[in-house]
């Protein structure tokens, strides 16, 4: 969905038939300037959406910039009614997306020097996936597949439905998309490697188990780890030799950051 359509939906949801308070209190011809400020250390994301909301943007930082409490994010100008009516939608986007970027940066920082990349997942807010994945990338992690259409990820239920590891891999062998398969046992692992699998997903292992499995794989396939990996444990998983770690928490559990908007007439 285009950004303009996402913004329009948010505005319709919030404004409805009109901003009753602003229309009653603010003169029609009044103009104003508004400034968005960080109220805590954060990694900003979503500033591109301000172009969809305000006609006159005087200043803004770029998404991915780390800010401290009190730093300016953007300055916008225009009719006072417009600024007041669209303030909350702008803040909702900035606070949510900057929250994702800020958490993503913590994960990226936690694995520095290991050679392991942290991936986001499809565990996103319905309708906001493109925005949340852009925010995750702004924070320094790597985007995994965008949806069900741009990569093949054979998980345990696919294996059951296909009739086994070999059957599933045989069915996708001629695909032009990247192919990854989840394996849950050493037997499935051996079968996947015998079938030429080049990327494996290992789910719900401890760091010690993951290190043992990765040693056994010995570079025959790239390895992604997933399953309940937290900010506190991600470094230990990264040090197992894994190529990738996927963390749904980056998008599904990010806390909105504190950003405010100050109006000046």
Give dist(CA 39, CA 138) in Å, integer: 19
Q: Is 107 exposed, middle or buried (0-12, 13-18, 19+ CB in 10 A)?
A: buried
Of 31, 88, 106, 171, the active-site residue reads 88
Q: Identify whether the C-beta of residue 220 lies closer than 8 Å to the C-beta of residue 209.
A: no
Catalytic residue (one of 57, 66, 129, 155): 155
Q: What gap in Å lies between CA 5 and CA 8, rounded to an integer?
A: 5
Instruction: State how far the Cα of 76 lies from the Cα of 86, in Å rounded to an integer.
Output: 11
Contact (Cβ atoms closer than 8 angstroms) between residue 44 and residue 65:
yes
Is 133 noted as a catalytic residue in this protein?
Answer: no
Instruction: Give just the sign of the alpha carbon dihedral 131, 133, 137, 139.
Output: positive
Active site residue 88: yes
Catalytic hit among 19, 182, 188, 243:
182
Task: Indicate the helix (H) or strand (E) that contains 238.
Answer: helix 234-238
| Active site annotation includes 57 | no
Look up 132 and say whether it is catalytic. Answer: no
Q: Choose, from 66, 123, 166, 171, the residue flagged as catalytic.
A: 123
Burial 208-226 (b: 16+ CB within 10 A, else e): eebbebbeebeeebebbbb
| Active-site annotation, residues | 88, 123, 155, 182, 203
């Amino acid at each position: 969905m285009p950004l303009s359509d996402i913004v329009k939906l948010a505005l319709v949801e919030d404004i409805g038939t009109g901003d009753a308070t602003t229309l009653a209190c603010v003169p029609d011809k009044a103009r104003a300037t508004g400034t968005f400020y960080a109220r805590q250390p954060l990694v900003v994301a979503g500033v591109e959406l301000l172009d969809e909301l305000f006609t006159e943007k005087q200043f803004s930082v770029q998404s991915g910039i780390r800010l401290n409490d009190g730093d300016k994010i953007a300055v916008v100008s225009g009719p006072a009614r417009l600024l007041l009516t669209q303030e909350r939608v702008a803040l909702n986007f900035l606070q949510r997306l900057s929250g994702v970027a800020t958490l993503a940066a913590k994960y990226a920082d936690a694995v520095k020097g290991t050679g392991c990349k942290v991936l986001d997942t499809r565990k996103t807010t319905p309708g906001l996936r493109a925005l949340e994945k852009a925010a995750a990338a702004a924070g320094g992690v790597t985007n995994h597949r965008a949806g069900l259409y741009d990569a093949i990820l054979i998980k345990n239920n696919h294996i059951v439905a296909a009739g086994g590891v070999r059957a599933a891999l045989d069915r996708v062998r001629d695909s032009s998309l990247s192919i990854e398969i989840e394996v849950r046992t050493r037997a499935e692992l051996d079968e996947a490697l015998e079938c030429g699998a080049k990327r494996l997903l290992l789910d719900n292992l401890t760091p010690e188990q993951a290190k043992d499995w990765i040693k056994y794989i010995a570079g025959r396939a790239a390895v992604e780890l997933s399953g309940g990996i937290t900010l506190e444990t991600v470094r230990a998983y990264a040090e197992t030799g894994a190529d990738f770690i996927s963390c749904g928490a980056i998008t599904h559990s990010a806390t909105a950051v504190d950003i405010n908007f100050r109006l000046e007439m």
